[in-house]
Structure 1
Amino acid sequence: MTGKEEIQKDWFKDWFNTPYYHILYKNRNNEEAALFIRNLVQFLDIDSEKAKILDLACGKGRHSIYMNTLGFDVKGVDLSEESILYASQFAKDRLSFAVQDMREPMQEKFTHIFNLFTSFGYFDSQDDNQRVMHAIDAMLDKDGILVIDFMNSPKVIQQLVKEEEKTIDSISFHITREHDHQHIYKHIHFQDKGQDFRFSERVQALTLDDFSRLTDATGLQIIRTFGDFSLNPYHPETSDRLIIIAKKQE
């Protein structure tokens, strides 16, 4: 059975709200994330007194929390109630969290919107991607800045790790990956407390051209791209990431 046949349309609603999602991804590199944020803040020359930042699809809030320590007013939103429940324990002055579907705009305006760590392309169609981009456009101030940090799909497909085992908190996660050139699938199988669990992730294999089409349909224009967290130039064949900087033109 292929990934297309197995996976549910809104796979993220169940998987992101399980404790096992947070166990599997608990060892993300916070130092690397902090370096990336510092590099972005410096490159964008963000004024902490004037900026209002939205961390869109914030997960458990690690980027939001760090940006707040740098003096920024930050709001983190995510569809996962479990993630927002965890992040909310860190809420304080100039740092807040809320459950929000990224396809729907909020009645707030922001100077900067960050969408980090491949938190785009989860939905089933390009129409949903466009809804996200229109929502971002609606929430950005004039001359506001969007930052999207996405996987570099061409390199990921070329170097896809088809199978691996990860043991975290005494749980052995068996992970397999596949692609159909349009999506990258990750299938996760494990046992815990005598039960058998299977989850799947599906992310669209979006390219720079795809993001250009999405922004061109809005008031956003891509003004710069980078290929890693140190903000080196982007190369489709070799870069680790696709980092997009877009500006609202109207």
Structure 2
Amino acid sequence: MEQWYEELFTDYADKYENETFTQGTIGEVDFIVKEINNDKNFKILDIGCGTGRHAIELAKRGYNVTGVDLSESMINKAREKAKNAQINVDFKVGDARNLSFENKFDLVIMLCEGAFPLMETDEMNFEILKNAAKALKKNGKLIFTTLNGLYPLYHSVKEFMDTNMVDGTSSDNSFDLMTFRDKSNFELEDDNGNLKVLECNERYYVPSEITWLLKSLNFRKIDIYSCKLGNFSRNDILTTEDYEMLVIAEF
């Protein structure tokens, strides 16, 4: 049985390109190259690369990039875009929970929830982080974005307090305070004009969880910031109003 994220990214590559959340590529890549001091010797792995928007932009700027995604249609679109741009990116169909890379890359990126934290169990999400860490060289850096648990936690509790509920539940709020998972229905029209209704299940993480998980993978320096579309910055402090967080981890 296909999981919701597998069904989502089947026959969705063209529509994906026009989504609002995919429009910040240039600014996000500007931040990435600044983080690695514009060092063209860096080998970069893009996990959950989708249609290759970050990987292709990095390759245009002279970087050696490998992109991996679970969706064959997304990878096919990425290869087509790279060919049209006359650049070389090594795009592969692969599962982020089961990658064979080891001590190979200077930088790993996972942006716009391309893989982590969409998995159906916490263990699967952790496997993705483990594989990202394993793929890095000993002085490597990991940059990724993920859903900020402070946002639904704050707003769910606030709603509870504002409405004086006694059982802590609400039919309008699918966020589970015990698991930090949000279940929702997502409607979309795929590239073939078919209407789909997907039962999404996403895991939100609070900063302390992310810090603990990364420390358990031997990352020593972990910085977490607000994540703003197309404008990543170390100057933006994470708040309860940020839907996503930007994580930068180094060994």
| TM-score computed with the length of structure 1 as normaliser | 0.78
Structure-to-structure mapping, 1:105-116, within 5 angstroms? 105-107=99-101, 109-116=104-111
Aligned residues: 224
1:246 paired residue among 242, 246, 249 = 249
Task: Spell out the pairing of 1:82-101 with structure 2 (5 A cutoff).
Answer: 82-89=73-80, 90-91=82-83, 94-101=88-95
Give the structure with the larger strand fraction: 1
1:26 is aligned, of 18, 35, 38, to 18
Q: How does 1:204-223 map to 2 (within 5 A)?
A: 204-223=203-222
The one of 108, 113, 118 aligned to 2:113: 118
Shift of 1:35: 0.6
Q: Tell me which residue corresponds to 2:31.
A: 39
In structure 1, what is the Cα distance between the partners aligned to 2:2 and 2:194? 24
CA distance in 1, matches of 2:91, 2:98: 16
Matches within 5 A, 1:8-87: 10-19=3-12, 22-23=14-15, 26-28=18-20, 32-48=24-40, 50-87=41-78
Which residue, out of 181, 184, 190, partners 1:186?
Answer: 184
Q: What is the one-letter code of the residue matched to 1:220? A: F
**Does residue 149 of structure 1 match 2:120?**
no
The whole-number CA distance in structure 1 between the counterparts of 2:93 and 2:193 is 32
Q: Tell whether the 8 Å contact from 2:42 to 2:106 is kept in structure 1 after alignment.
A: yes
SS at match of 1:220: coil
CA offsets 1:7-26 (integer angstroms, 9 cap, x no match):
x782212221133x752662
182-191 or 37-46, which deviates more: 182-191
CA RMSD for the aligned pairs? 2.9
Q: Is the 8 A contact 1:220 1:246 kept in 2?
A: yes
Cα deviation code 1:45-64 (max 9, x no counterpart): 1401x110001101111111
CA distance in 2, matches of 1:196, 1:243: 32
Per-residue CA deviation, residues 120-150 of structure 1 (Å, 9 max, x unaligned), is 1111222112211211121100110000112
**Secondary structure at the residue paired with 2:224?**
strand
Deviation per residue, 1:144-196 (Å, 9 max, x gap): 00001123332256569xxxxxxxxxxxxxxx984223112331236799976
Indicate the percent of aligned positions where both proteins have the same amino acid: 21
Q: Provide the C-alpha distance between the structure 2 equivalents of 1:136 and 1:242, rounded to a whole number of angstroms.
A: 18
In the superposition, the TM-score normalised over structure 2's length comes to 0.77
**SS of aligned partner of 2:247:** strand
> What runs of 5+ residues in structure 2 fail to find an aligned partner?
157-171
Contact preservation (8 Å) 2:126, 2:213: yes
Deviations 1:229-248 (A, max 9, x none): 34123223234531111112
Write the distance in 1 (CA, Å) between the matches of 2:193 and 2:11. 17
Q: Secondary structure at the match of 1:134?
A: helix
Look up the match of 1:102: 96
Structure 2 partner of 1:164: none
**Shift in CA distance, 151/47, structure 1 to aligned 2, threshold 3 Å:** same
- Distance in 1 (CA, whole Å) between partners of 2:89 and 2:70 is 18
